[in-house]
Amino acid sequence: MSAALIIIDLIEDLAGPKGRANHCREQLLAQNVIAHTNAAAAYARIRKIPVIWVRVGFADDYHDIPPHSPLFNHLKQIGALRLSNGGCHWLSGLEVKPEDLQFEKKATSAFAGNNLLAWLQQHRCHHLLLGGISTTLAIESTARQAHDAGFQVTILQDLCAAQTEDIHQQSLETLLNLGRVIRSPAWMKG
């Protein structure tokens, strides 16, 4: 096995219509991220590439948040990202299949607070294809950690969104230092 498709934080609190911190929702809808994600995941399954869904979430009392994080302490104050409620459910319309893998994380990177890195190394995945929200936080931090761990990194830009298109594009420019940035149809043709 050489590649894995990792989809990060496409959950209700972060992009749903009633999400408590859905700052990326407008861009997610404008970019048609759900449809692109479903198409990429379907292609990956056909090619026997693992599809891995990673979402952030915390205990009801938030004992497991990074204690000095302004971001997560703000989310705690507004009651977001509790694993026990619907805010951590996958977005409506996403096609998460039983054969797909799911991990929970405890910070911005997909590798935070779980054994995703060990699983990828054990299964000899060396090429990570990333999508999700937000481009500036989860995608950038995951790409940095993956890059530093020796993975080949590809960001599927049409599977990502940020607060605005300008912020998304700026983040993609930064990500060029860590890997390839392409649209999913280009990956699926290759």
Q: Locate the domains of the chain by residue range.
A: 3-8+24-57+95-189
Token pair belonging to 22 = 């859905």
Q: What is the pLDDT of residues 76-112, one digit of tens each?
A: 999 999 999 899 999 999 999 999 999 999 999 999 9
Q: Which of 16, 19, 26 minimizes the C-alpha distance to 161?
A: 26
Contacts of 157 (CB under 8 A, 6+ apart): 168, 172, 181, 182, 183
Q: How many CA atoms lie within 13 A of 47 on its CB side?
A: 18
Indicate whether 1 pLDDT > 70: no
Indicate whether 190 pLDDT > 90: no
- CATH number for the region 3-8+24-57+95-189 comes to 3.40.50.850
Q: What is the pLDDT of residues 31-61, one digit of tens each?
A: 999 999 999 999 999 999 999 999 999 999 9
Whole-prediction pTM value?
Answer: 0.96
Q: How many CB atoms lie within 10 A of CB 117?
A: 16
Token pair belonging to 64 = 């497991």
Cα–Cα distance for residue pair 130/133, rounded to 1 Å = 10
